[in-house]
Amino acid sequence: MSRRCSLCLGIFLLQLLSGTSLLAETVLGPLGNATGRWVPAASGQPLTRALQPAWEPGLNGSGAAGDTALKIFSIEYHHVQVPFEITLWIMLASLAKIGFHLYIKLPSIVPESCLLIIVGLIMGGIIYGVNETSPPIMSTDVFFLYLLPPIVLDAGYFMPSRPFFDNIGTILWYAVVGTLWNVFGIGLSLYGICQIESFGLKDISLLYNLLFGSLIAAVDPVAVLSVFEEIHVNEQLHILVFGESLLNDAITVVLYKLFKTFCTMPSVGLSDVFIGFIKFFLVGLGGLLVGFIYGIIAALTTRFTENIRVIEPLFVFLYSYLSYLTAEMFHFSGIVAIIACSMSMKRYVEANISQKSHTTIKYFMKMWSSVSETLIFIFLGVSTIGDKHEWSWPYVCFTMLFCLVWRAGGVIFLTFIVNKFRVNVVTKKNQFIIAYGGLRGAICFSLVFLLPNFPQKKMFTTATIVVIFFTVFVQGMTIKPLVELLEVKRTSLAPPTVSEQIHIRFLDHLLAGIEDICGHWGQYYWKDRFENFNNKYLNKLFIREQHLSKSSIVMLYQKLEKKHAIELAETGQLAGTASTASLQNEKAAEVLKRPVSPEQLDNIQELLLRNLYRIRQRMPSYNRHTLPQGKSTNQAKEIFLRRQESLLKDDVSLNSVKRRSVCLADESQKKGKLARSLTVGGYRGDENHPEMECPKFPKSISVTPQQPSTAEWINEEEPENLQTPDENGIKLKWRDENETVAESRRSGLKLKLQFASPDAIDNGSPRDGTDNGGRIPHLAPLSRQFSEQVHDRGTAQSE
Amino acid sequence: MGLHSSHLSKIDNLTEIMEETGFSKSHIGRLYHRFQGLDESNSGSLSRADFQRIGGLAVNPLGERIINAFFPDRRDTVDFRSFIRILACFRPVRMVKSPDPLSPEPINSRDNKLRFAFQLYDQDRDGKISRDELYQVLFMMMEAEVTEDQLDNIIDRTIQEADQDGDGTISFEDFKKSLEKVNLEHKMSIRFLQ
Among all residues of chain B, which has the CA nearest to that of A499? B158
Which residues in chain A are contacts of B31 at CB distance < 8 A?
518
Interface of A with B in 754-783 (CB under 8 A): 780
Helix (H, G, I), strand (E, B) or coil at A589: coil
- The better pLDDT of the pair B95, A407 is held by A407
Name the residue facing B156 among A596, A613, A638 (closest C-beta). Answer: A596
Q: Mean pLDDT score of chain B, rounded to an integer?
A: 78
Is the predicted pLDDT of residue A487 greater than 90, yes or no? no
Cβ–Cβ of A423/B143 closer than 8 Å? no
Which pLDDT score, from 0 to 100, does residue B70 have? 83
Using the Cβ of B3 and the Cβ atoms of chain A, whether some distance falls under 8 Å is answered with: yes
Which residues in chain B are contacts of A513 at CB distance < 8 A?
56-57, 60, 62-63, 66
Using the Cβ of A522 and the Cβ atoms of chain B, whether some distance falls under 8 Å is answered with: yes
Distance from the Cα of A768 to chain B's closest Cα (Å) equals 19
Query: Mean pLDDT, to the nearest integer, of B62-76?
Result: 82
Between CA A477 and CA A488 the distance in angstroms is 18
Cβ–Cβ of B139/A581 closer than 8 Å? yes
Which residues in chain B are contacts of A584 at CB distance < 8 A?
132
Using the Cβ of A609 and the Cβ atoms of chain B, whether some distance falls under 8 Å is answered with: no
Which residues in chain B are contacts of A497 at CB distance < 8 A?
161, 178
- Would you give the end-to-end CA distance of chain B in angstroms? 16
Using the Cβ of A162 and the Cβ atoms of chain B, whether some distance falls under 8 Å is answered with: no
Using the Cβ of B54 and the Cβ atoms of chain A, whether some distance falls under 8 Å is answered with: yes
Q: How far is CA A140 from CA A51, A381, A446, B106, B121, in A?
A: 11, 15, 5, 63, 62
Which residues in chain A are contacts of B161 at CB distance < 8 A?
497-499
Look up residue A593 and give its amino acid. K
Q: How far is CA A100 from CA A96, A97, A442, A688, B155, in A?
A: 6, 5, 21, 72, 43
Using the Cβ of B172 and the Cβ atoms of chain A, whether some distance falls under 8 Å is answered with: no
Cβ–Cβ of B190/A639 closer than 8 Å? no
Cβ–Cβ of A593/B47 closer than 8 Å? no
Order across the sheet with A751-754: list the strands. Answer: A712-713, A751-754, A728-730
Interface of A with B in 644-663 (CB under 8 A): 646-647
Each residue of A428-456: pLDDT tens digit? 888 888 888 888 888 888 888 788 777 77
Cβ–Cβ of B162/A596 closer than 8 Å? no
Which residues in chain A are contacts of B156 at CB distance < 8 A?
592, 594, 596
Helix (H, G, I), strand (E, B) or coil at A634: helix
Using the Cβ of B84 and the Cβ atoms of chain A, whether some distance falls under 8 Å is answered with: no
**Chain mean position to CA A434:** 20
Using the Cβ of A509 and the Cβ atoms of chain B, whether some distance falls under 8 Å is answered with: yes
Question: Long-range contacts for A82-90 (Cβ within 8 Å, ≥24 apart)?
Answer: A82/A45, A82/A47, A82/A48, A84/A25, A85/A22, A85/A25, A85/A51, A86/A47, A88/A18, A88/A21, A88/A22, A88/A25, A89/A22, A89/A375, A89/A378, A90/A371, A90/A375
Distance from the Cα of B101 to chain A's closest Cα (Å) equals 28
Between CA B73 and CA B83 the distance in angstroms is 14
Query: Mean pLDDT, to the nearest integer, of A551-572?
Result: 59
- The better pLDDT of the pair B58, A211 is held by A211
Neighbours of B103 (CB within 10 A): 8
Which residues in chain A are contacts of B37 at CB distance < 8 A?
519, 528
Which residues in chain A are contacts of B177 at CB distance < 8 A?
none
Using the Cβ of B127 and the Cβ atoms of chain A, whether some distance falls under 8 Å is answered with: no
Chain B interface mutation, best of A491, A504, A518, highest count of B Cβ atoms under 10 Å: A518
Phi, psi (rounded to 5 degrees) for A793: -95, 100
Distance from the Cα of B22 to chain A's closest Cα (Å) equals 16
Which pLDDT score, from 0 to 100, does residue A294 have? 94
The percent of residues above 90 in pLDDT, for chain A, comes to: 6
pLDDT category of residue A412 using cuts at 50, 70 and 90: very high
pLDDT category of residue A659 using cuts at 50, 70 and 90: very low
Report chain B's C-alpha Rg in angstroms: 19
Cβ–Cβ of A594/B156 closer than 8 Å? yes
Pair type for strands A660-661 and A728-730: unpaired
Q: For B130, what's the count of Cα atoms within 13 Å in the CB-facing half-sphere? A: 15
Is the predicted pLDDT of residue A477 greater than 80, yes or no? yes
Q: What is the largest CA-CA distance in chain A?
A: 105
Is the predicted pLDDT of residue A226 greater than 90, yes or no? no
**Rounded to two decimals, what is the model's pTM?**
0.62
Chain A interface mutation, best of B27, B38, B59, highest count of A Cβ atoms under 10 Å: B59
Is the predicted pLDDT of residue A459 greater than 60, yes or no? yes
Query: Mean pLDDT, to the nearest integer, of A315-344?
Result: 91
Interface of B with A in 87-116 (CB under 8 A): 87, 90
pLDDT category of residue A8 using cuts at 50, 70 and 90: low
Q: Could you give the dihedral angle defined by the CA atoms of residues A221, A223, A224 and A226, in that order, rounded to the nearest 10 degrees?
A: 120
Contact (Cβ atoms closer than 8 angstroms) between residue B137 and residue A499: no
Is the predicted pLDDT of residue A779 greater than 50, yes or no? no
Using the Cβ of B52 and the Cβ atoms of chain A, whether some distance falls under 8 Å is answered with: yes
Cβ–Cβ of A506/B141 closer than 8 Å? yes
Helix (H, G, I), strand (E, B) or coil at A37: coil
Chain B interface mutation, best of A502, A517, A535, A775, highest count of B Cβ atoms under 10 Å: A517
Using the Cβ of B58 and the Cβ atoms of chain A, whether some distance falls under 8 Å is answered with: yes
Each residue of B114-158: pLDDT tens digit? 888 888 888 888 888 888 888 888 888 877 777 788 788 888 888
Which pLDDT score, from 0 to 100, does residue B168 have? 80
Among all residues of chain B, which has the CA nearest to that of A580? B136
Cβ–Cβ of A423/B192 closer than 8 Å? yes
Query: Mean pLDDT, to the nearest integer, of A210-225?
Result: 86
- The better pLDDT of the pair A667, A164 is held by A164
- The better pLDDT of the pair A286, B3 is held by A286
Between CA A455 and CA A388 the distance in angstroms is 12
Q: Show the DSSP H helices in A545-615 as ranges.
A: 550-577, 598-611
Using the Cβ of B22 and the Cβ atoms of chain A, whether some distance falls under 8 Å is answered with: no
Cβ–Cβ of B55/A788 closer than 8 Å? yes
Q: What pairs with residue A728 in β-bridges?
A: A753
The percent of residues above 70 in pLDDT, for chain A, comes to: 56
Q: Mean pLDDT score of chain A, rounded to an integer?
A: 67
Best-predicted range by mean pLDDT (A651-655, A693-697, B103-107): B103-107
Q: How many CB pairs under 8 A join A and B?
A: 210
Cβ–Cβ of A791/B55 closer than 8 Å? yes
